[in-house]
Amino acid sequence: MEEPEEYRDSLNQLTEMEVLVLEQQLLLTAFENSFMLITGKITFEDLVIDKHKTGNSAILAHDPHMALSIREVENIIEHFVDLEEYEKCQELKNMMDADCK
């Protein structure tokens, strides 16, 4: 899917550092949104509505229309390990273990 010209123009006005910071913020948001959705703390519909109200997009680190793979959960766990958010890691690991039984 091609990005709108307006979006590309606004990115071209950013410095390389600003683009990197924006990309990092998008990744953090995607992983956090995926965690909230996977753990049932929010529904997909509520996520979309909440993000729309604040002018944000409901970006995710996984495809919500496909079955969640173990590898995707492992990637999300790795992300939270890097951030030292071990409670989230444990919650995801517990869910993964329960689904494998």
Per-residue pLDDT at 37 exceeds 50: yes
Contact 8, 53 (CB under 8 A): no
From the list 97, 83, 99, 85, the residue with the least C-alpha distance to 27 is 83
Per-residue pLDDT at 61 exceeds 50: yes
Residues of the chain with pLDDT > 90: what percent?
62
What pLDDT is recorded for position 1? 46
pLDDT band at 76; cut points 50, 70, 90: very high
Mean pLDDT value across the chain? 88
What pLDDT is recorded for position 43? 95
Q: How far from each other are the two terminal CA atoms of the chain, in whole angstroms?
A: 39
DSSP 58: -
pTM of the model: 0.80
